[in-house]
Amino acid sequence: MHADPIGVLTGAHFIDGDHACSEGAIAAGCRFVAGYPITPSTEVVERIADRFPFVGGVFIQMEDEIASSIAIQGAVWGGKKAMTVTSGPGFSLMMEHIGFAAMTETPCVFVDVQRAGPSTGLPTMPAQGDMMQARWGSHGDYQIIAIAPNSPQECFDLTIHAFNLSERYRVPVMMMMDECVGHMIERVVIPEAEKIEVHNRKVYEGPKENYLAFEAGRDLVPTMVKAGDGYKIHVTGLTHDEKGYPNMSVATQAKLVQRLMDKIRLNADDIIKYEEENVEGADIVVVTFGITSRTAIPAIEQARAKGLKVGHLRLIVCWPFPEKRIRELAGRVKAIVMPELNMGQMVYEVERCAAGKCNVVSVPHAGGTVHQPKDILAAIEKSIRGK
Amino acid sequence: MPRTEIKIGGFGGQGVILSGYILGRAASIFDHKNATMIQAFGPEARGSATSAQLIISDEPITYPYIVAPNVMVLMSQEAYSKFSPELAPGGMLLTEEDLVATHNLRSDVKHYSIPATRFAEELGKRLVLNIVMLGFATAITNIVGREAARNAVKVSVPKGTEELNFAAFEKGYEYGLKLLKGEPEKVMA
């Protein structure tokens, strides 16, 4: 399917990452947004509120983030594509409903424009401190997808991708932006509607009798109907059988949770997305995501100019994590260096996959600004001197 | 064009951010270069010395913040005191002549000034001083072309004010050209 031209502002724009995210959502077909505006994500909902009247969308400024994160799920079961937008403190409040979306397989997008925490922290300054929260913040076992853009152009492109993945796998997808990418203004090229691929949830159109709302086929993703179409559906956060009815049995729990995990794990190769430069033959690989990928490039170039064999792997999809690739690399490089705008989060995944096969060096930063390339360069140089 | 860092400073309400935005839009949309703009976002953007930071380059822009601006356009004394020490060695400083006294200016800095507020007042609207400065900066620095800058002005200012803003741009541009030739126009007091 292609994007509906009504929502697509084809052309070259000079806009910030937040606005590009709004345009990506509209192009993807999002027509319901509920949010409680918070710096540095406010511009996303501001633009949505401006633009939605022209595309037939509904924006509600809610009383808080808890309400926002569940209102969108009501809209999704009413047949819409929906998202909510927030930053750290609001993201914390949404955790319960992220679990609800995972459990009820409600396709929706959570945009988190990260600022430095904990708590209210530094509201107007960047960080990447919510990466583990995105993966593990809600209780119980579940899988989500998280994406980290590094430019306004990617805020547009990857928000579309976030909706597409969400619709395809019926999972909450997190757009893990940060203040720097959100407020940075750059050229954003929006293609023609017919060049934008849009994926919509599989819809069940069979007989109404005996409809099983949570029965999945080989791809492990059930079809959906919308409330009001005459099908009997029951949507609950309780452990449920294929009919959607609560079923408090160990067997039902095992089957449901296993499928929720497997539909992402077994499709991980299709979901995982990263880009690499000069990784073949490298002694050191710098692993980055989001804005940190850009601050690392000058450091990598300087290290290469000094004769070090340094490659770069940038995570575009952070969750699920590219375990296989990091395992492979760890087996043949001397060191992996991971700068991130937090005190060391995604580096735990790198260490887990490297399993002692190479030196893993974290380049932490408490946030408030971005890394100085010289600090990343120093870590690169130390990473092989140390061993 | 190699990576060129530009900082535009003034007090909140002077149109500092808009002039940076227009310059970036001219470069990235109409001159097909790469441009990254970051604006002061905290409380300083609401009254005190504020700034727009712009990087323009033919190459992809990686590190997103400016390190040592090659060009600085300053429209208030506070912005001068706060920002001018950051100028790169041999950098270019453009100031609003009546609002900025350039005391203790480093000798390596190339300095040009324009009475932009007075020009704007002559045009009937003090508000367009930022566009006079933009025209001036376009002529002096040649970072973006005249047509690209005019096109960016056209699509960035409120509808119905295009002619006034073009007049402001041209005033600054012409003054800049004359200054470069060493014959500044006499300003009506």
What pLDDT digit, counting tens, does each position of B30-54 carry? 999 999 999 876 666 666 788 999 9
Q: Domains in chain B: how many in total?
A: 1
Residue B189: what pLDDT? 34
Q: What is the mean pLDDT of chain A?
A: 97
What is the interface size between A and B, counted as CB pairs within 8 Å?
56
Residue B85 belongs to a domain with what CATH number? Answer: 3.40.920.10
Q: Is residue A19 part of a domain?
A: yes
- Among candidates B120, B123, B19, B28, which has minimal Cα distance to B73? B19
Query: Is residue B187 domain-resident?
Result: no
Task: Say if residue A16 is in the same domain as residue A163.
Answer: yes
Flag whether the ipTM exceeds 0.85.
Answer: yes
Which one of A168, A195, A222 terminates a domain?
A195
Is residue A153 within 8 Å of A13, Cβ to Cβ?
Answer: no
Specify if B166 maps to a domain: yes
Residue-level pLDDT at A42: 98
Please answer whether residues B103 and B83 qualify as being in contact, where contact means their C-beta atoms are separated by less than 8 angstroms: no
Q: Does residue A213 lie in a domain region?
A: no
A300 close to A363: Cβ distance less than 8 angstroms: no
User: Are the C-beta atoms of B107 and B90 separated by less than 8 Å?
Assistant: no
- Residue B108's domain comprises 4-180
Interface membership of B48 toward A (CB under 8 Å): no
Average pLDDT over residues A127-142: 98
Asked whether residue A201 is domain-assigned, the answer is: no
Q: What is the pLDDT of residue A46?
A: 98
Domain edge (last residue) among A195, A220, A245: A195
Nearest Cβ partner for B64 among A12, A14, A291: A291
DSSP A301: H
- A185·B39 Cβ contact <8 A: yes
| Same-domain check for residues A189 and A288 | no
Indicate if A295 and A179 belong to the same structural domain: no
Give yes or no for residue A387 having a pLDDT over 60.
no
Contact indicator for A264, A271 with CB cutoff of 8 Å: yes
What pLDDT does B187 receive? 43
Q: Tell me the residue type at A226.
A: K
User: Chain A 217-256, CB below 8 Å of chain B: which residues?
Assistant: none
Q: CATH no. for residue A292? A: 3.40.50.920
Exposure string of A74-104, with b = 16+ CB inside 10 Å and e = fewer, is ebbbebbbbbbbbbbbbbbbbbebbbbbbbb
Q: Strands B49-57 and B34-39: what pairing?
A: antiparallel
**Does A178 share its domain with A278?**
no
The residues, any chain, with a CB within 8 Å of residue A324's CB and separated by 6 or more, are none
Inter-chain touch A124–B42, beta carbons under 8 Å: yes
Q: Is there a domain that residue B24 lies in?
A: yes
Alpha helices in A266-345 (DSSP H): 268-271, 292-305, 323-330
What is the mean pLDDT of the segment spanning A125-146? 98
Contact A370 B65 (CB under 8 A): yes
Q: What is the average pLDDT across A144-161?
A: 98
Residue A239 located in a structural domain:
no
Asked if A373 is an interface residue toward chain B (Cβ–Cβ < 8 A), one would say yes
A195, A222, A240 - which closes a domain: A195
Chain B hits for A291, Cβ within 8 Å: 64
Residue A380 lies in a domain: yes
> How far off is chain B from A12, nearest CA to CA, in Å?
7
Domain assignment present for B21: yes
Q: How far is A209 from chain B (nearest CA, A)?
A: 57
Pairing of strands B49-57, B4-11: antiparallel
Q: What is the pLDDT at residue B45?
A: 60
Q: What would the pLDDT profile of A168-210 be if each residue is shown by its tens digit? A: 999 999 999 999 999 999 999 999 999 999 999 999 999 999 8
Sites in chain B below the pLDDT cut of 50:
186-189
Report whether pLDDT(A105) > 50: yes
Same domain flag for A191 and A278 = no
Query: Is the Cβ pair B21, A12 closer than 8 Å?
Result: no
Whether B81 and B16 have beta carbons less than 8 Å apart is answered as no
Q: Is residue B64 part of a domain?
A: yes
Position A210 scores a pLDDT of: 85
Ramachandran region of residue B94, left (φ > 0), alpha (ψ -120 to 50) or beta? beta
B34–A contact, CB cutoff 8 A = yes
Q: Looking at the structure, do residues A282 and A168 belong to the same domain, yes or no? A: no
Q: Provide, as residue numbers in chain B, all residues whose Cβ is less than 8 Å from the Cβ of A40.
A: 41
CATH code of the domain covering residue A72:
3.40.50.970
Cα–Cα dist A20/A113, whole Å: 13
Q: Is residue A130 part of a domain?
A: yes
Would A211 be classed as within a structural domain? no
Q: Are A19 and A165 in a shared domain?
A: yes
* B64 reaches A (C-beta below 8 A): yes
Q: Residue B151 corresponds to which tokens in the numbers above?
A: 């096109």
Q: Which domain holds residue A14?
A: 5-195
Number of domains observed in the structure of chain A: 2
CB contact under 8 A, A184 and B64: yes
**Position B185 in a domain:** no
Does any domain span residue A118? yes
What are the tokens at A129?
């401190």
User: Is residue A312 scored above 80 in pLDDT?
Assistant: yes
Is it the case that residue A133 has pLDDT exceeding 80? yes
Regarding whether A190 and A50 lie in a shared domain, the answer is yes
